[in-house]
């Protein structure tokens, strides 16, 4: 494979972090090459800027995004068989989102290895969220092309999926689906033309370092001022209590024939 690099930089530390020694290092180099750098290199070499050969990481981003989506979908499908399609979709959307991938890129210190043009370098491209998240997708593609799906899958699970699932589980007291109940309730009410739920903190108990919050949720029927359903729930934070109360409201609404 051709590469735009006149010298091979030492990427051994990055390869160690990725858990893979590349048989074709040029794949990793290209995954780290921003279009601004590729354009400058081509121009300096006197190449036609309209030449068909692509030497930046944009095509790698496309492939990496697809591989990431496949791996995330398969893992969530296998691990959370009790989730409905909406829950799986929202959890997957978070795991593959640019907002999450930029954190992965920062942990891997990908910004240090990016090949940038002078303009991008001056404008702080090494810390730009878009460039970091794109680089993560491109690196996934490089792993896939160099060693196959299983190597890319191992990297994705170890660096992108598992740490984030553990974080979410910790924040939701071990119930990943807690992250979905409030939005699911909102969508269900909206689809049936009802007003949005109303949450209120009923009480707070305990010392500051171990507070317990009791939250109430009220669900109103169409064109009625009195709530159709009221639920209360406790949690270590207001957010957790709201999610548990929202689940109770969802269970009630879904048990009603008109809302199924």
For the question of residue 56 being annotated catalytic, the response is: no
57-78 b/e (C-beta count within 10 Å ≥ 16 → b): beebbebbbebbeebbeebbee
Using the 3D structure, point to which of 144, 171, 198 is the last residue of a domain.
171
For the question of residue 137 being annotated catalytic, the response is: yes
| Residue 78 placed within a domain | yes
Q: Which CATH number is 152's domain given? A: 1.10.1520.10
Question: Do 110 and 193 have their domain in common?
Answer: no
**Token pair of 249, please?**
């409201």
Beta bridge mates, 218:
198, 230
pLDDT of residue 15: 96
Catalytic residue among 41, 61, 120, 137: 137
In terms of residue numbers, what domain contains 228? 178-259
Confidence of residue 260 (pLDDT cuts 50, 70, 90): very low
| Residue 5 placed within a domain | no
Confidence of residue 168 (pLDDT cuts 50, 70, 90): confident
Confidence of residue 179 (pLDDT cuts 50, 70, 90): low
Confidence of residue 4 (pLDDT cuts 50, 70, 90): very low
Using the 3D structure, point to which of 151, 171, 191 is the last residue of a domain.
171
Handedness of CA 121, 103, 95, 15 (dihedral sign): positive
Checking if the pLDDT of 252 tops 90, the result is no
172-198 b/e (C-beta count within 10 Å ≥ 16 → b): beeebbbbbbbebbeebbeeeebeebe
Question: Do 162 and 187 have their domain in common?
Answer: no
Checking if the pLDDT of 124 tops 80, the result is yes
Confidence of residue 181 (pLDDT cuts 50, 70, 90): confident
The rounded distance, in Å, linking the Cα atoms of 136 and 97 is 11
Overall number of domains in the chain: 2
Q: What pTM does this model have?
A: 0.66
The rounded distance, in Å, linking the Cα atoms of 200 and 162 is 34
Question: Do 114 and 50 have their domain in common?
Answer: yes
**Token pair of 10, please?**
């030492």
Confidence of residue 174 (pLDDT cuts 50, 70, 90): low
Give the model confidence (pLDDT) of 57-111 as tens digits: 999 999 999 999 999 999 999 988 878 888 889 899 999 999 899 999 999 999 9
Segment 203-215 shows an average pLDDT of 89
Mean pLDDT of the chain: 85
Confidence of residue 141 (pLDDT cuts 50, 70, 90): very high
Using the 3D structure, point to which of 116, 147, 171 is the last residue of a domain.
171
Q: Among 211, 214, 189, 188, which Cα is nearest to 199's?
A: 214
Checking if the pLDDT of 28 tops 80, the result is yes
Q: Which of 34-48, 159-173, 236-250 has the lowest mean pLDDT?
A: 34-48
Catalytic residue among 29, 40, 56, 65: 65
Q: Which residue has the higher pLDDT, 235 or 154?
A: 154
Q: Are 227 and 162 in contact (CB under 8 A)?
A: no
């Amino acid at each position: 494979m051709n590469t735009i690099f006149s010298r091979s930089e030492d990427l051994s530390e990055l390869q160690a972090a990725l858990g893979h020694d590349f048989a074709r290092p040029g794949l990793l180099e290209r995954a780290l090459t921003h279009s601004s750098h590729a354009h400058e290199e081509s121009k300096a070499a006197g190449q036609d800027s309209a030449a068909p050969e692509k030497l930046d990481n944009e095509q790698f981003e496309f492939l990496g995004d697809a591989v990431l989506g496949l791996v995330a979908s398969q893992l969530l499908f296998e691990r959370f068989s009790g989730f409905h399609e909406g829950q799986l979709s929202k959890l997957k959307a978070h795991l593959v989102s640019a907002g999450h991938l930029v954190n992965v890129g920062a942990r891997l210190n990908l910004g240090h290895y990016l090949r940038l043009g002078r303009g991008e370098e001056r404008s702080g491209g090494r810390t730009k969220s878009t460039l970091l998240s794109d680089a993560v997708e491109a690196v996934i593609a490089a792993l896939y092309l160099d060693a196959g799906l299983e190597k890319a899958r191992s990297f994705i699970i170890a660096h992108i999926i598992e740490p984030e699932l553990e974080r979410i589980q910790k924040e939701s007291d071990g119930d990943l689906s807690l992250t979905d109940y409030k939005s699911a309730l909102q969508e269900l009410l909206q689809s049936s033309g009802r007003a949005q739920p109303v949450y209120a903190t009923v009480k707070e108990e305990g010392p500051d370092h171990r507070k317990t919050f009791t939250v109430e949720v009220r669900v109103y029927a169409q064109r009625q001022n009195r709530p159709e359903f009221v639920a209360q729930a406790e949690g270590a934070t207001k957010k957790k209590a709201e999610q548990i109360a929202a689940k109770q409201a969802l269970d009630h609404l879904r048990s009603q024939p008109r809302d199924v």
